[in-house]
Amino acid sequence: MEFYIKHETKGYLRVHMAQASMTSREADILQYYLQNQSHAIQAKVFERTADATVTYVGDRTDIICALKRFHYEQAGVPEVFLENSGRELNREYKEKLIQKVLMRVCSCMFLPYPIRAFCTSIRSVRYIYAGIRTLLKGKLEVEALDATAIGVSVCRGNLKTAGSIMFLLGIGELLEEWTHKKSVGDLARSMSLQVEKVWLKREGQEVLVPAQDIAVGDEVVVHMGNVIPFDGTVTAGEAMINQASFTGESQPVKKDPGGYVYAGTVLEEGELTIQVKETGNSTRYEKIVAMIEESEKLKSALESKAEHLADRLVPYTFLGTGLTWLLTRNATKALTVLMVDFSCALKLAMPIAVLSAIREAGLDHITVKGGKYLEAVAGASTVVFDKTGTLTKARPTLKEVIPFCGMDPDELLRVAACLEEHFPHSMAKAVVRGAMEKGLEHEEMHTKVEYIVAHGISSYIDGKHVIIGSYHFVFEDEKCEIDPAYQETFDGLPTEYSHLYLAIDRKLAAVICIEDPLRDEAEAVVNSLRKTGIDKIVMMTGDSERTAQAIAGRIGVDEYHAEVLPEDKARFIETERAAGRKVIMIGDGINDSPALSAADVGIAISDGAQIAREIADITISSDDLYGVVTLRLLSVSLMRRIRKNYRSIVGINTALILLGVGGMVQPATAALIHNTSTLAIALKSMQNLL
């Protein structure tokens, strides 16, 4: 596509697309395309000017060539992204805000006073009605206070003051509504389902196909630990489904033939065959939005405290107004106290600060499912890391297949991949990738596959019992044996790799060596977390004592636990919490799910098992563990901002009340300063924290 460069510096381009105008849909397509270029760090598209900015690394030629190749029709953007991008929402609220300000300016400058007075009186009815309705419910809250201030101003003929109060209240409502909808939309989009491939049941075989190829009426098979990709009816199998992120149910729900399941819920235990009833993702998105808006998860304790405090302060404002009048017999001074209250600022600034922090976290590829989790991260003193896929790289690689029988290594790898491809573990993915790279294709050879969490996989191929998994599972649980002729080979297994053991009919058939290198940033992340105030950092792993000790020494954790089971991780976290410590758990696998649930905050790695991402309270990008440090700094900064907001609100409004009672500030001026300061604090709260 044609374009020209408007501005350029090292690592940054601003281009103008050669088109007369740009729609919101076109802007979203271009932004998605640019963001998914391998060298692009960040991209923004401005539809009003048809401009785009790109921050990138590497050679500028790559970005230039990508822009030349771009065509709206061939960009391949998912429809769900375009339907729910939020760009139209931003445009709508910007226009509303500009319109409101322009109307206020024009009415003050050009409308005759009688018409302006009439319009102000009519507009006041809405606020007065809201206040009366609150009183009729037996409540004395902010709405009653606003109604009294506006009503008294109208009755005294001070329509300018009433107009100013309503204008600033309207701006505040608009900003709060905009920020809330945008933050909820961002959160819902990040929680929305993104499944690339599914197991289609065709002629008795399970075939891995792209999700977009599935049609209504098809049957798909969902294995343990995977997310359910479509709404549908269960036709075979029995399973426990985790619906917590969708319906709010805390306990898994049993599903068997005839039951209905929803896209985005997670299969915790068992296996299901589902007949697809809906393939669209928009319904999933809408349901998530509804769930979030109704959920108390969005509110941190400080937010809830601000709301309750705001409502509790209303009677004191009325009391202060009455006392001022009784002591001074001056209606103007009493009215000044009425015009200035703490409630409006508390109710507006605090939620905006939290929702803006959630939005900012999203910019760093961190999905936060509620404000209370940011507060918990800020107050945490213990961090527990899983090792595999968390402290080690998210993409372990296959290095070697060592046979312990007469079979060819490639054939053994093919058998292993056939079993492992059904389950979402980083080690399993390494085996499957290794087989693909060698071109080892296969049809389903086995009968029903059984997955034992934190142990391994069991199945039958050609009537032979085949298992693959950990040393503990293969040799201690399943009592498999090593052919004496291969004992020396077994004793000489390379220690620098993690090992998966494949056994056929209780005889060791192969050892699959997986390179699981430590993340480059792991040690720096541990040190950085300690500098932010975390005083206990723990590593837990199912690996051997020898491996765990070596890695723990390299990254500098305070303590480590080796050869642990999922319940051991959860038990450790419960013990820490019982001792009065707030705990963050960071993991990526199915076996981390109990610990993620047990912690004050569960953080999942985005490339990990889907069940871990669904259960976790926060998800960070798999590309960079520094996201944990960013999250901690963001959370601490948010708490600092909220406390600063408290001090500012109390300080400004107390000063205004004292000045009003002293006769140094008129009610109109007090109302203007109060509402302007409230608006300024709210706008400040919308700014990025880091």
Asked whether 415 and 502 are in contact (CB, 8 A), the reply is yes
Last residue of a domain, one of 480, 495, 515: 515
pLDDT at 323 over 80: yes
CA distances from 245 to 233, 338, 612, 613 (A): 20, 43, 12, 10
pLDDT at 384 over 50: yes
pLDDT at 289 over 70: no
- Give the predicted TM-score (pTM) of the model: 0.70
Given pLDDT bands bounded at 50, 70 and 90, which one contains residue 245?
Answer: low
Same-domain pairing of 509 and 595: no
Same-domain pairing of 301 and 221: no
Same-domain pairing of 490 and 450: yes
Tokens of 499: 């090992």
pLDDT at 501 over 60: yes
Last residue of a domain, one of 77, 109, 136: 77
Please state the rounded mean pLDDT for residues 507-520: 89
Helix H, strand E, coil C: the string for 241-309 is EECHHHHCCCCCEEECCCCEECCCCEEEEEEEEEEEEECCCHHHHHHHHHHHHHCHHHCCHHHHHHHHH
Last residue of a domain, one of 580, 597, 622: 622
Q: Which residue is listed with tokens 């890391």?
A: 385
Q: Which residue is listed with tokens 């649930």?
A: 597
Please state the rounded mean pLDDT for residues 505-521: 89
Cα(389)–Cα(610) distance, integer angstroms: 14
Same-domain pairing of 613 and 650: no
pLDDT in tens, 174-210: 877 776 677 667 666 665 555 667 888 887 778 888 8
pLDDT in tens, 440-486: 876 666 556 776 655 778 888 888 899 998 888 898 888 999 999 99
Helix H, strand E, coil C: the string for 560-622 is EECCCCHHHHHHHHHHHHHCCCCEEEEECCHHHHHHHHHCCEEEEECCCCHHHHHHCCEEECC
Asked whether 519 and 391 are in contact (CB, 8 A), the reply is yes
Phi, psi of 12 (to 5 degrees): -145, 135
| pLDDT given for residue 210 in this prediction | 81
| pLDDT given for residue 296 in this prediction | 45
pLDDT at 54 over 90: yes
Q: What is the CATH number of the domain that holds 536?
A: 3.40.50.1000
In a domain, 632, yes or no: no
pLDDT in tens, 645-678: 888 888 888 888 888 888 888 877 887 788 788 8
Tokens of 181: 């909808």
- Residue with the larger pLDDT of the pair 285 and 269: 269
Q: What is the CATH number of the domain that holds 27?
A: 3.30.70.100
Please state the rounded mean pLDDT for residues 142-149: 84
- Tell me which of 65-79, 429-443, 444-458 is least confident: 444-458
Please state the rounded mean pLDDT for residues 681-690: 84
Same-domain pairing of 27 and 158: no
| pLDDT given for residue 630 in this prediction | 94
pLDDT at 592 over 90: no
- State the DSSP string of 4-73: EEEEEETTEEEEEESSS---HHHHHHHHHHHHTSTTEEEEEEETTTTEEEEEE-S-HHHHHHHHHH--GG
pLDDT in tens, 20-29: 889 888 999 9
Please state the rounded mean pLDDT for residues 58-68: 89
- Tell me which of 87-96, 150-159, 437-446, 598-607 is least confident: 437-446
Same-domain pairing of 510 and 426: yes
Provide the H-helix boundaries in 55-138. Answer: 60-69, 79-83, 87-110, 113-136
b/e sequence 677-687, b meaning 16+ C-beta within 10 Å: bbbebbebbbe
In a domain, 291, yes or no: no
Same-domain pairing of 152 and 59: no
Asked whether 173 and 146 are in contact (CB, 8 A), the reply is no
The domain total for the chain is: 5
| pLDDT given for residue 476 in this prediction | 85
Tell me the CB-side half-sphere exposure of residue 560, using CA atoms within 13 A: 23
pLDDT at 104 over 80: yes
Same-domain pairing of 511 and 445: yes
In a domain, 361, yes or no: no
| pLDDT given for residue 581 in this prediction | 94
In a domain, 286, yes or no: no
Same-domain pairing of 253 and 154: no
Q: What is the CATH number of the domain that holds 500?
A: 3.40.1110.10
Range of the domain at 173: 92-188+297-354+637-685
pLDDT in tens, 520-536: 899 999 999 999 999 99
Structure letter (DSSP) for residue 330? -
Amino acid code (one letter) for 476? E
In a domain, 360, yes or no: no
Please state the rounded mean pLDDT for residues 570-582: 94
Cα(664)–Cα(658) distance, integer angstroms: 9
| pLDDT given for residue 208 in this prediction | 81
In a domain, 432, yes or no: yes
pLDDT at 111 over 80: yes
| pLDDT given for residue 351 in this prediction | 76
Given pLDDT bands bounded at 50, 70 and 90, which one contains residue 409?
Answer: very high
Closest residue by Cα to residue 15 from 57, 68, 89:
68
Given pLDDT bands bounded at 50, 70 and 90, which one contains residue 363?
Answer: confident
In a domain, 238, yes or no: yes
Please state the rounded mean pLDDT for residues 372-379: 91
CA Rg value for the chain: 30
Same-domain pairing of 641 and 654: yes
| pLDDT given for residue 394 in this prediction | 60
| pLDDT given for residue 441 in this prediction | 74
- Residue with the larger pLDDT of the pair 348 and 59: 59
Asked whether 590 and 612 are in contact (CB, 8 A), the reply is yes
| pLDDT given for residue 291 in this prediction | 53
Q: What percentage of the chain exceeds 90 in pLDDT?
A: 25
Q: What is the mean pLDDT of the chain?
A: 83
Same-domain pairing of 618 and 594: yes
In a domain, 571, yes or no: yes
Structure letter (DSSP) for residue 226? P
Same-domain pairing of 303 and 350: yes
